[in-house]
Amino acid sequence: MSMIYGERVRLRANEREDLEKFYAWVNDPEVTQGLALNMPMSMAEEEKWLNAQRDPHEKPLSIEVRKGKGWKLIGNCGVFSIEITNRNAELGILIGDKTEWNKGYGAEVMSLLLRHCFGTLNLNRAFLRVYAGNVRAVRSYEKAGFVLEGRLREAVYKNGKYDDVLIMSVLRSEWMAKMKEK
Ligand SMILES: CC(C)(COP(=O)(O)OP(=O)(O)OC[C@H]1O[C@@H](n2cnc3c(N)ncnc32)[C@H](O)[C@@H]1OP(=O)(O)O)[C@@H](O)C(=O)NCCC(=O)NCCS
């Protein structure tokens, strides 16, 4: 499968060489604050994750941004839990390189994943789960067109307190309407 290109970002298949950075990121409490990761992760677990058998459409993708004439790995993302009949799937993203937060890359990646979901995978609904306290993430998803759909009250316990889990989604019809505006 060819790479997915945006203006400043590209999504490519994961490589074994990426694992060192992934390992550092999933063990960084600042990065995992908004994720369902509570235990230290080993390199063996990372390798298992990389090599897991999954639907080819659900393979995680590495996020790279333009740096000079080359590309820099900053995180990973993916589409998972694809439901064939419902044409529905969940999206996820992790930008592990904290120096690259708040530069609009998250919103661009999610826009690319939406284009992939609707334009390539022919899905009808793409949703995600985000902790209410993860304000940066919520704002980034709003910029990409996600709308708040529901709130699972106190559904997660993290760092000594409960937080709500928000469900945000984009429907194919909404995405099509937005494309026509452009
Ligand atoms: C969440 C994540 C994907 C967002 O990507 P990003 O590239 O950092 O975010 P963007 O630049 O697209 O958007 C961030 C927005 O939040 C705003 N923001 C950041 N911190 C904020 C805060 N404390 N309060 C209010 N707004 C905030 C930024 O100003 C920006 O909005 P603006 O463009 O209107 O100014 C990325 O930070 C990340 O991967 N974090 C770690 C893992 C994680 O939490 N993943 C998501 C799990 S659901």
pLDDT tens string 28-63: 999 999 999 999 999 999 999 999 999 999 999 999
Distances (CA, A) of 154 to 149, 164, 166: 16, 4, 10
Confidence of residue 182 (pLDDT cuts 50, 70, 90): confident
**Alpha-carbon span 110 to 43, nearest angstrom:** 27
Q: What is the pTM of this model?
A: 0.97
Pocket test for ligand 1, best of 90, 139, 166 (most atoms within 8 A of CB): 139
**Atom of ligand 1 minimally distant from the CA of 30:** 41
